[in-house]
Structure 1
Amino acid sequence: MKVLATSLLAAAAVVFAVAFALQDRYPWLGFVRAAAEGAMVGALADWFAVTALFRHPLGLRIPHTAIIPTRKDEIGASLGAFVETNFLSDEVVAGKLSTIDLAGAAAGWLSDPRIARRVVAEFSQGLTGLVGLLDDDRMREAVEAVVRAQLVAPQWGPPLGRLGARVLESGGHQEAVELLLDRLDEWLAAHPEAFEAVVTRRLPSWLPSFVDRAIDERLHAQARRFVRELRDDPDHRLRRSLDEYLAQLADRLQHDDATIERLEQAKGRAFDDPRIRELAASAWTAARGAAIGALSDEDGELRRRAEALLGDAARRLLADDELRASLNARLTDAALHLVTSYRSDIAHVIAETVQSWDPAETTDKIETQVGRDLQFIRINGTVVGALAGLAIYSVATAISTLL
């Protein structure tokens, strides 16, 4: 394009020289000379304008030339501000997102079983790599620190007391008591010999064996009858005593400093026990190994369930217009939040990137992108200049003829 534009300038110069030399012999060549003269002026003016954008014309440091390399930093800042104002404004982003069904597009994409399988596979590989990078000792320390901060450090007494009080008020503990009594009755029925160690062996040795058996059977039957009475009678004296004791315990856990302190000490001893820490360490190791194994198995149950869940969610989303609209609204709000929070940073990145470019490199980058169109400016200037020169000469000639 540079060659074409320069060739037109050279052609206009040749035509001008020939017409200028012969116009006295051939007066009509005056029109040709005027057109060629105008073409040269237009071509030279636009060549100067185009060249001044990128460099100093003919190496002359004329003011307001080589604009891009000398004002590169200002251009970068202006470009960043332009993008921030005109492309990252809330109105522009919200308007664009309102025309796009992001949730529907994602759901339609994920409804394809092959795509869902690929997404799950990529996510599994990434998660497997992340888990593999974790250091076991540091993770155990991190888990222990989180457990201590969130579970061990807060007082247990008042929350447990409040929970117990609510359970007692609702009567929810009665089912647990009845279940416990059921299991105790079943155990007594299955182990009648348990009374031998408690009663028979403590009786005098001279008693006949049938007396021992009779006593054992009698006590065993009485014990089962007592347990069944406790189970079937919610107002039994012993059960009321148990309710009173539990209510007092719940109250002490909330308000009695000594009881609260005893619970805290027991909790501390339990969590400081090396066996508990070893159990936590082994649990992390087992969980890590199980997670890696499940994520790595392409045909494993975890991946199959994830694929099915993803596909089912996509189909539900496609079928539910209200849900899709709600999700699109949330995505739009999230995008607007990100744009509002980081658009200045994006503009700053653009400005810093342009500022980091070498001036000559910047000039080459921009000229490569828009240079072809700028050469059209030179060509148009040549043509427009020729027409303007011809028009001016024609008007001047007509006026002089009339006068």
Structure 2
Amino acid sequence: MTESQKRKQLFKYKALATGLFLLMACIFITTTVLQKQYTSHWIGYIHAFSEAAMVGALADWFAVTALFHYPMGIKIPHTNLIENSKQKIGDNLGNFVVENFASAENIRPYIEKIKVTGFLSEWLLKKKNQEILVKEIAVLLKNAISQFQDPDIISFIAGKIKEAGENLKINHILSNGIFYLLEKGEQQTIITFMSSKIKNYILENDELIRDKVHQNSYSLVPKFVDNKIANKITTGLASFFEDIENNPDHKVRNEISDSIYQFANEIKTSDRWENELGKIKASILNEDKLNDYATDIWHSLKKTLMSELDNDHSALKQYAQKNIRQFAEDLNKNESQQNKIDQWIRFNAYRLILKNTGKVSELISTTVGNWEGKELSRKLEVEVGKDLQFIRINGTIVGGLVGLIIYTLAAFI
């Protein structure tokens, strides 16, 4: 029922109670006049009834009105009780709710019935509900992302990059990377590849070697001799690199591996390399570049996230829905896990409620205390005023009956 409807009901029953009082007043006036003209005994009885009924009606009107207003605007002590005692009402109401509704004995039976996981798993197993949950999460994330201040996020990212970069020793990272490749034998693959390429290059460019031999030979040396020398050089070099390519234990391979190891060790321990690589790191981590990096990272990430969250069939949403479904299936099958989670929820709910009963009382007391006195009176009168009008009606009738009884007894004495 709306407040407007409640107000109409209140007005209706106020009018009924007031109308009954006016009826008694009219009867009283009429019987007063009739008593002067007639001597019938029944007039006295009606007169006594109406007189006492008016007294009862006025007394109960005063009592009901005094709860919410000053009767006739006169500031009589102990009237307008709701407005003048709102803080006390709030305190008492808060204590009443806590003592009768939030006590350990009252809440324990309800807490023990809590079984969230069964309902949750069944609910989440339905595809429609999974989609609803994913959409709601997406809306929350979009709202959160849209409220982020770009400069603050960029500054945060730049700060984290700088913090991480300053703690990095580039020479150690580089040397450890080389040591790792050596440990895995990756240099052998490179040596094999390079040996094959060099061998093939030599064989494919034998004319170039022949021309070089001719250019550096004496004019008295016959050309066929130069060609023979060139062929020997070509086949010798090709054979040398072929041996390196095919022999994993070749001396050259070992020498190259040793040189790489020494180079990696020098990078790690040498002050020169540490300084040189430190300069490179410093040039990368200067403030302008960091802001550029952070801006690119954030704008790219933000654009990607917003696009994924807007698309109902995005990989991100499908991944989220898949994990929700998997979680629901696992939870639904695992009764032991359900019991553990429900027990945890019951324990913490029980503890949380008992821990905050004082705050519940304080909340009710503060809320009622902060209400405007007149507004509180108005609210309560609208809610219970209709029923209180029956006190006025009953007071009128009961008062009349009591007056009639007293008049009757007096007549027989």
Partner of 2:184: 180
Preserved CA contact (<8 Å) 1:140 1:281: yes
**Does 1:376 pair with 2:407?**
no
Deviations 1:59-95 (A, max 9, x none): 2221101112233344345445555555556665555
**Does 1:13 pair with 2:25?**
yes
Which of 51, 54, 62 is the aligned partner of 1:40? 54
**Does 1:326 pair with 2:314?**
no
1:379 is displaced (CA, Å) by: 1.7
Preserved CA contact (<8 Å) 1:77 1:350: yes
Q: For the residues of structure 1 that align with 2:376 and 2:154, how far apart are their CA atoms?
A: 52
Q: For the residues of structure 1 that align with 2:350 and 2:369, how far apart are their CA atoms?
A: 28
Q: For the residues of structure 2 that align with 1:344 and 1:270, how far apart are their CA atoms?
A: 60
**Does 1:51 pair with 2:65?**
yes
Preserved CA contact (<8 Å) 2:161 2:290: no
Amino acid at match of 2:22: A
**Does 1:210 pair with 2:235?**
yes
Amino acid at match of 2:389: Q
**Does 1:272 pair with 2:272?**
no
Q: For the residues of structure 1 that align with 2:48 and 2:28, how far apart are their CA atoms?
A: 8
1:300 is displaced (CA, Å) by: 1.8
Partner of 1:61: 75
Partner of 1:287: 301
Alpha-carbon distance change, 367 to 287 in structure 1, aligned in 2, over 3 angstroms = same
Preserved CA contact (<8 Å) 1:152 1:267: no
Deviations 1:260-280 (A, max 9, x none): x99x97997497357666444
Partner of 2:311: 297
**Does 1:193 pair with 2:196?**
yes
Alpha-carbon distance change, 142 to 208 in structure 1, aligned in 2, over 3 angstroms = closer
Preserved CA contact (<8 Å) 2:154 2:295: yes
Deviations 1:137-161 (A, max 9, x none): 3212113335566x567x789xx9x
Preserved CA contact (<8 Å) 1:72 1:359: yes
Q: For the residues of structure 2 that align with 1:91 and 1:110, how far apart are their CA atoms?
A: 33
1:393 is displaced (CA, Å) by: 5.1
1:52 is displaced (CA, Å) by: 0.4
Amino acid at match of 2:237: D
Deviations 1:283-313 (A, max 9, x none): 3322222111111101222223323433443
Alpha-carbon distance change, 208 to 61 in structure 1, aligned in 2, over 3 angstroms = closer
CA root-mean-square deviation: 4.9
Q: For the residues of structure 1 that align with 2:280 and 2:338, how far apart are their CA atoms?
A: 48
Q: For the residues of structure 2 that align with 1:366 and 1:352, how far apart are their CA atoms?
A: 17
Preserved CA contact (<8 Å) 1:103 1:327: yes
Partner of 1:113: 127
> What TM-score, normalized to structure 2?
0.66
Alpha-carbon distance change, 374 to 288 in structure 1, aligned in 2, over 3 angstroms = same
Alpha-carbon distance change, 113 to 210 in structure 1, aligned in 2, over 3 angstroms = closer
Deviations 1:342-388 (A, max 9, x none): 66666555555544544333322221121111112212222333444
Partner of 1:128: 142
Alpha-carbon distance change, 39 to 113 in structure 1, aligned in 2, over 3 angstroms = farther
Partner of 1:173: none
- Please give the secondary structure, in 1, of the residue aligned with 2:195: coil
Count of matched residue pairs: 357
Partner of 1:225: 249
Q: For the residues of structure 2 that align with 1:268 and 1:345, how far apart are their CA atoms?
A: 56
Over the matched positions of the two proteins, sequence identity in percent amounts to: 26
> What TM-score, normalized to structure 1?
0.67
Alpha-carbon distance change, 8 to 277 in structure 1, aligned in 2, over 3 angstroms = closer
Alpha-carbon distance change, 282 to 343 in structure 1, aligned in 2, over 3 angstroms = farther
Preserved CA contact (<8 Å) 1:39 1:385: yes
Q: For the residues of structure 1 that align with 2:77 and 2:57, how far apart are their CA atoms?
A: 21
1:8 is displaced (CA, Å) by: 2.0
Alpha-carbon distance change, 57 to 135 in structure 1, aligned in 2, over 3 angstroms = closer
